[in-house]
Amino acid sequence: MTDMMKAVRLHEFGGPDVLRYEDAPRPEISADDVLVRVHAASLNPPDLYLRDGYRVLPPEWHPSPRFPLILGTDVSGEISAVGENVTQFKVGDEVYAMVRFPHDLMTGSNAYAEYVRVPTSDLALKPSGVDHIQAAGAPMSLLTAWQFLVDLGHDEPNPFQIFAHAPEPLDGKTVLVNGAGGGVGHLAVQIAKWQGAKVIAVASSKHEALLNDLGADIILDYTKAAAETVAKDVDLVLDAVGGAGMERFLPCIRQHGALFLVNPLGFSGHHEAARRKITVSTTQVRSNGAQLAEAGRLLDNGSVRVVIDSTYPLAQASAAHRRASEGSIQGKIVLDVA
């Protein structure tokens, strides 16, 4: 008989209420995988997009997966079994991962569950200085900030542009982070500071105290004044919000500076950027255990902190998704699976 576990599954696309806490078969692993007993799993925007059937995309790109499916990419937990080829990890190791992304973008990576199958290439030892809730909050947001700002870490084709994204040295530069209180934004602020940049953080006022604490040099409340009319001669803008009007940042960037778009869909400023000699670049985050091990050292020694917006028991994943839909997230929303 198949071993069972608790998981949050969906049997149809829709709003937060389609998430059902129920029994599901425990995943089986192959030779290069480990089975992780999940202690915590965090929410990321792709979880909400997939729950909703990627309605934001044109109909021909809508997924048609086999239901039921299990959302979630980011986990922290403990290894409960290893495949026969696995030598670098052992049963009992505490680990964290962003699981099979973007490989399983349209089917779900199965993290909202008591057990998840993780390829060792996606896996790193959990930084011992943080607990499972914080570690689960890190992977996708941390890897996104890392791959945009520090090291791309792979040579896979870029789905958004014909050239590879290339991070730039930030020491002594002025970096503006838009969406600085969010999952990607709050980690990008800290990574840019760690690299020696002066950081302008753009966020609503509710995040001001936090961003001061995280070392932002200047904080601009976009609800009071448009940041791009206040900031001048910025070397790099990292827009961790997306949506309409991303090109408005171009005038506050100096010539030969750069605009990095974490969510590039809808950007229409390529001509103006070329005229102003500004590089516009984006990339899609990819699972990478080696980078999680490297960036994890910053979590371990406290140079980078994962901020938790809220935690919910796994059984209340619907409530967690409702919180995410309200927006104005500060750091990460995490499901407690322990």
Ligand X SMILES: NC(=O)c1ccc[n+]([C@@H]2O[C@H](COP(=O)([O-])OP(=O)(O)OC[C@H]3O[C@@H](n4cnc5c(N)ncnc54)[C@H](OP(=O)(O)O)[C@@H]3O)[C@@H](O)[C@H]2O)c1
143: alpha, beta or left, given left = phi > 0 and alpha = psi -120 to 50?
Answer: alpha
CB of 309 to ligand X, least distance (A): 8
Closest CA to 97 of 145, 10, 37: 37
CA distance 132 to 138: 10
CB of 232 to ligand X, least distance (A): 18
CB of 267 to ligand X, least distance (A): 12
The reply on whether position 183 binds ligand X by CB under 6 A is: yes
CA angle 18, 22, 27 (to 5 degrees): 110
Which of 4-12, 179-187, 266-274, 296-304 is the region at the interface with ligand X (rule: CB under 6 A)?
179-187
DSSP 97-125: EE-STTTTTTT----SBSEEEEEGGGEEE
DSSP three-state, residue 207? helix
Kindly tell me which of 174 and 283 has the beta carbon lying closer to ligand X. 283
CA distance 200 to 216: 6
Angle between helices 139-149 and 289-300 in degrees, nearest 10: 100
Site map (CB under 6 A) of ligand X, residues 275-314, x = contact: ---------xx-----------------------------
Place of tokens 């026969």: 84
The reply on whether position 139 binds ligand X by CB under 6 A is: no
Amino acid identity of residue 198, one-letter, is K
The reply on whether position 175 binds ligand X by CB under 6 A is: no
The reply on whether position 206 binds ligand X by CB under 6 A is: yes
CB of 243 to ligand X, least distance (A): 7
Which of 12-20, 127-135, 136-144, 150-158 is the region at the interface with ligand X (rule: CB under 6 A)?
136-144
The reply on whether position 152 binds ligand X by CB under 6 A is: no
Q: Which residues bind ligand X (CB under 6 A)?
A: 44-45, 140-141, 144, 178-179, 181-185, 202-204, 206-207, 222, 240-242, 262-263, 284-285, 327-329
